[in-house]
């Protein structure tokens, strides 16, 4: 999974925005270690549905709320307008450890992401 992409002159690029829901905030419930961006990247690289997907930036992992044990992973994906594979990801489910995660479409967020705990 690459963050930099060379854009051939014949293909126009756009960004698509997604969020992945249904994932536990804790990678290990016994030690209460929280899931990191690196952990998410490893799972995405191992999953076949992300083979042809190029990330525009690192995934962002944000806890849903201070009282929740679930998180949201925000993804920005480069999308060739001639091959709109990104739209095929919407509502796709996949295994994320022992959880079933769902990919949803999202709107672009022009501001800086801030966790809901602050």
What pTM was estimated for this model as a whole?
0.76
The dihedral of CA 11, 91, 3, 108: what is its sign?
Answer: positive
Arch. (CATH architecture) of 13-105: 2-Layer Sandwich (3.30)
Judged against a pLDDT cut of 70, whether residue 5 lies above it is answered with: no
97: alpha, beta or left, given left = phi > 0 and alpha = psi -120 to 50?
left
Mean pLDDT for 9-36 is: 78
Q: Please provide residue 110's backbone torsions phi and psi, each rounded to the nearest 5 degrees.
A: -70, -20
The 10s digit of each residue's pLDDT in 92-103 is: 999 998 899 999
Q: What is the pLDDT of residue 65?
A: 85
| Distances from the Cα of 15 to the Cα of 18, 36, 46, 85, 116, angstroms | 10, 23, 22, 12, 25
The 10s digit of each residue's pLDDT in 76-94 is: 988 875 556 777 888 999 9
Q: Residue 43: helix, strand or coil by DSSP? A: helix
Residue 12 in tokens: 């126009």
The three-point CA angle 43-48-21 to 5° equals: 50
3-state secondary structure 62-78: EECCCCCCEEEEEEEEE
């Amino acid at each position: 999974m690459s963050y930099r992409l060379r854009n051939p002159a014949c293909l126009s690029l756009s960004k698509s925005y997604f969020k992945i829901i249904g994932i536990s905030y804790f990678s290990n419930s016994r030690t209460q270690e929280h899931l990191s961006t690196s952990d998410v990247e490893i799972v995405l690289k191992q999953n076949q549905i992300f083979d042809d997907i190029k990330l525009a930036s690192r995934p962002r992992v944000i806890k849903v709320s201070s009282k929740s044990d679930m998180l949201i992973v925000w993804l920005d994906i480069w999308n060739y307008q001639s091959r709109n594979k990104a739209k095929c990801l919407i509502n796709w489910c996949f295994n994320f450890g022992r959880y079933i995660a769902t990919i949803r479409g999202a709107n672009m967020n022009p501001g800086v992401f801030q966790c809901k705990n602050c």
